[in-house]
Amino acid sequence: MNTLPSSPRIAFAASDRPDALAARDTLAKRYKSFPVEEADVVVALGGDGFMLEMLHAQIERHAPVFGMNRGSVGFLMNEYGEEDLLDRLSKTVRTIIHPLEMRAWTSDDHIQSGLAINEVSLLRQTRQSAKLRILVDGRVRLEELSCDGALVATPAGSTAYNLSAHGPIIPLNSRMLALTPISAFRPRRWRGALLPHDSEVCFEILEADKRPVSAVADNYEVRRVRKVEVRERRDIALTMLFDADRSFEERVLAEQFTA
């Protein structure tokens, strides 16, 4: 349900692409523009990466973000248009996203944390495969996974890196997470798991000095980790706005029928 004011205060934000910057200037002249910290809604102009950046920026303020594609893929974005923006905003539907929290223990015994809207991924740093032990809610589920890496994806992120790694697409209201291997070597036939959203996943890196692994929460990377814990932060709610005839739920459903 859309709860924006009838005349919302809009902040226009753009990526550094020339067409995104030009679109921001055009829209700011046509519609009254407010600073982000005063806005009821943020209109993000760019691609999917910029949309994630804007959502991360709203973790404290919780202002909804309406993206318009001035990038490449634009799966998280609406179509760009300069006409009837206020009318479009009044008819949008909301998608609520709960991010993942990553806690990573490094080889020098520091703990670093980050939030991920799409996924937390572990990746080998050298030519040698990573070796991971996987625990779910404190119980060992996989004693040793030899692989390029592994990831935990939110429903919103299940169509991104997770899908490229042959993980499942998860409906947004399913209250589940995807645990997906990346180029698994042993056990070769393990394809991952679907987990309840309140599961806590722990990765223990085996032979961490010989086979270094990095952990990445969206675009925040921690190098040479020894252990990584991942859990959903249900107490954090981020809001994306979509045109009513092309909701994010519909896009996720349609993606499952894309050849």
Distances (CA, A) of 190 to 113, 129, 143, 144: 28, 16, 12, 11
Backbone angles phi, psi at 250, to 5 degrees: -65, -40
Q: What is the 3-state secondary structure (H, E, C) of the chain?
A: CCCCCCCCCEEEEECCCHHHHHHHHHHHHHCCECCHHHCCEEEEEECHHHHHHHHHHCCCCCCCEEEEECCCCCCCCECCCCCCHHHHHHCCEEEEECCEEEEEEECCCCEEEEEECCEEEEEECCCCCEEEEEEECCEEEEEEEEECEEEEECCCCCCCHHHHCCCCCCCCCCCEEEEEEECCCECCCCCCEEEECCCCEEEEEECCCCCCEEEEECCEEECCEEEEEEEECCCCCEEEEECHHHCHHHHHHHHCCCC
Q: Is 48 a catalytic residue?
A: yes
Q: Which of 19, 25, 40, 48 is flagged as catalytic?
A: 48
Active site (catalytic) residues: 48
